[in-house]
Amino acid sequence: MRTAYSVETVRTAERSLMARLPEGALMQRAAAGLAAACAQLLGRVYGSRVVLLVGSGDNGGDALYAGARLARRGAGVTAVLLAPDRTHPGGLAALRRAGGSVAGVGEAEELVQRADLVVDGIVGIGGKGGLRPDAARLAALSETSRAIVVAVDLPSGVEADSGEVRGAAVRADLTVTFGTHKPGLLIDPAREHAGSVRLVDIGLELPEKADLEALQHADVAALLPAPAAESDKYRRGVVGIAAGSARYPGAAVLAVAGALRGGAGAVRYVGPAGSAVIARFPETLVSDRGPAKAGRVQAWVVGPGAGDDAATVAEVLEADVPVLVDADGLRLADRETVRGRTAPTLMTPHAGEAAALLGVSREEVEGARLTAVRELAARYGATVLLKGSTTLVADPGGGPVRVNATGTPWLATAGSGDVLSGLAGSLLAARLSTRDAGSVAAYLHGLAGRYAANGAPAGAHDVANAIPQAWRDARGAASVRG
């Protein structure tokens, strides 16, 4: 599991560690890791041109000490000081001793243009609000520079705790972060600014409960349902799909396509698209009665392509089993009914749907995804999966938010969300919790999208077809035949 912790938690851990270590030891650990990463990127340090963008806090201190290390190995290092009289004194002295030089903000543009490597030490976890004008100008230089850009701890200008970006922010090729990932490094739009992220262990002791979690292959493998020898289809769980309409039969077909690959023992379909579903997937149990009379299921998916069929949504929400609500169903579901349910609910909006439910603009949701997903989960008393390039899953009672980054922009294709809801519903029927089902489905769906696209456009049915490959991949080659 990859985890991320808020600035407040990092500060607390830092204080307790600092009290036990000689002064400056933590910064030396950070600078050593940073310099090693820079050296690796440069390949040849000797003779390279390195420019440090140095703010007035410890983030600048890290950059200066790392710059000193590179200068000792023969790099030509120049530090651009944002606030010469408030620069980290020890770091500045170390750079000077190592033969590095100092420049003012006015010289930054030319220096950055000629640099091989730019180190962004403008601001780290101490940054407050959008960058001030001078800092913003330096950050903007990184966007046009041809040099390799390495951000110290965080790309300056991004919000560490939320992943929000207000105004100019550094665009890095690599971010070297210390002690733990910060939430912003894993959530868009900030994540896009970070480039790849390298974590340097500086010995911080962090609490068990993180602010953010990102599942990795091994975590997904441990959560995937595996049939026992004596399993029959009913024990493996039946997922009910109440989706599609005369106008949108395809949504039903795609939700069933996802559900068939999600580990449930059987898929029951209810709705007006039964013949389209059975033509494509003859293994589906098709019912022409409403959800309440269709037969027992262990979880329901309602909403994809539902049009204005509020009655079906209301009927499904009455069921005493986990329910996934997606697409049209989100608009049709009554909030108080969802809040009053005793079995868990999983809602799966994209940013536009989330915006409509929250009564804000789509841009607001996209700019502040973490806030939006937490707010929706709290308002509906439901687990919410907010789709996007970094999908987030939040439980209503708080706790770590799951973030998924396996997605690809190719997944933004019609019907891809229907496949995801079928897949997640199937995992719910296989008795995963709403949070696990949502995050495992997002993980597999993202991987499947990558396999299906493989650098070229793919349709939603291709994504569904690639789910078994993603599943096998997550489980690992050794256990594939189990």
**What angle is formed at CA 169 by the lines to CA 11 and CA 151, rounded to 5 degrees?**
60
Kindly state the smallest distance separating residue 217's Cβ from ligand NAX, in Å.
Answer: 29
For K ion, what does the binding mask look like between residues 83 and 122, x meaning CB under 5 A?
Answer: -------------------------------------x--
**Does the footprint of K ion cover residue 135 (CB under 5 A)?**
no
Cβ closest to ligand NAX, residue 131 vs residue 386: 131
Cβ closest to K ion, residue 124 vs residue 240: 124
Nearest to 324 by CA among 304, 354, 305: 304
Calpha distance 169→177 (Å, rounded): 16
Helix and strand numbers, DSSP H then E, in the chain? 19, 18
391 known member of a binding site? yes
Cβ closest to K ion, residue 124 vs residue 425: 124
Cβ closest to K ion, residue 66 vs residue 442: 66
Nearest to 169 by CA among 128, 137, 126, 125: 137
Among 152, 239, 257, 327, binds K ion (CB under 5 A): 152
Q: Residue numbers of the site for ligand NAX (CB under 6 A)?
A: 10, 14, 26-27, 30, 55-60, 62, 123-129, 131-132, 135, 152-153, 178-179, 202
Nearest to 94 by CA among 72, 112, 115, 75: 72
Structure tokens at 62: 């890290």
Among ligand NAX, K ion, none, the one that 129 touches (CB under a kind-dependent 5 to 8 A) is ligand NAX
Structure tokens at 144: 């046009």
Among ligand NAX, K ion, none, the one that 188 touches (CB under a kind-dependent 5 to 8 A) is none
Calpha distance 264→155 (Å, rounded): 43
128 known member of a binding site? yes
244 known member of a binding site? no
Q: Are strands 2-4 and 212-214 parallel, antiparallel or unpaired?
A: antiparallel
Distance of CA 269 to the CA centre of its chain: 32
88 known member of a binding site? no
Gap between the terminal Cα atoms of the chain: 23
* Contact set for K ion, span 324-343 (CB under 5 A): none
Nearest to 430 by CA among 169, 422, 255: 422
Number of residues that bind K ion (CB under 5 A): 5
Cβ closest to K ion, residue 204 vs residue 343: 204
124 known member of a binding site? yes
59 known member of a binding site? yes
Contact 302, 322 (CB under 8 A): no
Contact 182, 403 (CB under 8 A): no
Phi-psi region of 457 (alpha: psi -120 to 50; beta: other; left: phi over 0): beta
Kindly state the smallest distance separating residue 198's Cβ from ligand NAX, in Å.
Answer: 14
Cβ closest to ligand NAX, residue 121 vs residue 271: 121
312 known member of a binding site? no
Kindly state the smallest distance separating residue 256's Cβ from K ion, in Å.
Answer: 48
**What angle is formed at CA 242 by the lines to CA 236 and CA 246, rounded to 5 degrees?**
140
359 known member of a binding site? no
Among 3, 78, 145, 156, binds K ion (CB under 5 A): 156
Give alpha helix (H) positions in 261-298.
274-280
**Does the footprint of K ion cover residue 142 (CB under 5 A)?**
no
Contact 187, 403 (CB under 8 A): yes
Among K ion, ligand NAX, none, the one that 120 touches (CB under a kind-dependent 5 to 8 A) is K ion
Cβ closest to ligand NAX, residue 127 vs residue 271: 127
Structure tokens at 254: 């795609």
398 known member of a binding site? no
The stretch near K ion (CB under 5 A) out of 44-52, 124-132, 271-279, 457-465 is 124-132
Calpha distance 421→134 (Å, rounded): 47
Annotated binding site for K(+): 59, 120, 156
- What residues make contact with K ion under the rule CB under 5 A? 120, 124, 151-152, 156
